Structure 1
Amino acid sequence: MMVMDTQTIQELIPNRYPIFYIDRVTDLVPDQSITAERYVSATDETLAPGTWQLPSTLIIETLAQAASILILKSPQFAGKTAYLASIGAADFLQPVTAGSIMELRVDMTKVRANMGIVATQALVDGQVAVTAELHFIVSPQVNA
C-alpha cells in the first residue's frame, strides 16, 4: 500500500492546474493496481453549466491520470511519460455531480514493450458511475 498526496503526484505526472484532477492516492501496488480520489466541488470550473455534472470527457481524463500514476510507478516505466492512446470501451452508468468524492480504481491488464491496457472504474458512494478500458503508450520524458 502506498499513499500519495498532491505534491507527490505532481512530481510524477506532468499535469498541472487547471488540468490536474487527482486529489489523493489511497492505495497503489506497482504493476498491478491503484485507487485514487477526486473531490468534485460545486466551485469546480469543469462542471457542465447548469447541470452540476462532471462531463464524461473529464471523467475519462481523470481515470487516465490515475492510470498514468500506476504506469509511471512501474520500474520499467520510471522517469518516462504515459499518454492515453485510445479508449477501448466506456460505459457511463450514472452522473458524477458536485459534492461527490469520485473513487478511481485502475487495474493493469496488459503490458507489452511501451504500451498496454488498463481496466478502470469511477465510483461514487460505492456505486459504479463509469467503466472504461484505456490503452496507453509510454515514451521517454521530454525536458523543456
Structure 2
Amino acid sequence: MTKLDIHQILKLLPHRYPILLVDRVLELDEGKRIKSLKNVTINEPFFTGHFPHRPVMPGVLMLEAMAQTAALLSFATAGVVPDDKTVYYFAGIDGARFKRPVEPGDQLVMEVELLRHKAGIYKFKGVARVGEDIACEAELMCTMRTIA
C-alpha cells in the first residue's frame, strides 16, 4: 500500500488553497482503492458564510474532496504523472447522500473504490466518514483529458 504526504499530493493535483481538499493519502492500492484524509479547521474560508452561527462544511466540497481522492487513484492506476495540460473533470455524480454534518475539528476520511474504467471514463464508489459515521456517499464518474 502506498501513502502520500502533502508534498507528493501537490505534485499530482493542480488544486491549491482554498480548494485543495486532500491533506494525506493513508492507503493507495493501484487499480482498486484509496483512502485519504482532510483535516477540517475553523480557518476554512467557506465557514465564514456557511454558516456564521453554525459552521458546516458544504456537501459539494465533500464531493469535491472525494473527487480529488479519486483523481489520485486514477493517476496511479493509469500510470500518469499529470502536467499542466492534464485536466481531471467530473462527468457525473449519482446517489449522493449526506448523512452527518462535518464541522471544524473533524477529520474527514475519504474511501474511494474504482468500480470500472473504460475509454477514459472512471467510475467510483466514494464514502466520506468522520470517525465511524458516514458523512457523505456517492458514485462518481470522472474523466481525464489533455488540453491543447
TM-score between both structures, scaled by the size of structure 2: 0.90
* 2:68 equivalent to 1:65: yes
How many Å apart are 1:19 and its aligned residue?
0.9
Deviations 1:109-144 (A, max 9, x none): 01102002100000001111110100011112x48x
Identity among equivalent positions (%) equals 27
Tell me the SS of whatever aligns to 2:46.
coil
Tell me what 1:136 maps to: 142
How far apart in 2 are the matches of 1:137 and 1:77?
13
Matched to 2:36, the amino acid is: A
Deviations 1:56-101 (A, max 9, x none): 1111111111111111111354434321111022010111111100
Change beyond 3 A, Cα 1:15–1:69: same
Tell me the SS of whatever aligns to 2:34.
strand
* 2:37 equivalent to 1:16: no
Tell me what 1:74 maps to: 77
How many Å apart are 1:54 and its aligned residue?
0.2
Q: 5+ residue gaps in structure 2? A: none
Tell me what 1:126 maps to: 132
Divergent runs of 4+, >2 A: 75-82
CA contact (8 A) 1:101 1:124 kept: yes
Tell me what 1:56 maps to: 59
How far apart in 1 are the matches of 2:15 and 2:66?
13
How far apart in 1 are the matches of 2:136 and 2:122?
20
How many Å apart are 1:45 and its aligned residue?
1.2
Q: 5+ residue gaps in structure 1? A: none
Tell me the SS of whatever aligns to 1:88.
strand
How far apart in 2 are the matches of 1:61 and 1:75?
21
Tell me the SS of whatever aligns to 2:72.
helix
Matched to 1:55, the amino acid is: P
Q: CA RMSD in A?
A: 1.5
Matched to 1:81, the amino acid is: V
Tell me the SS of whatever aligns to 2:2.
coil
Change beyond 3 A, Cα 1:40–1:62: same
TM-score between both structures, scaled by the size of structure 1: 0.92
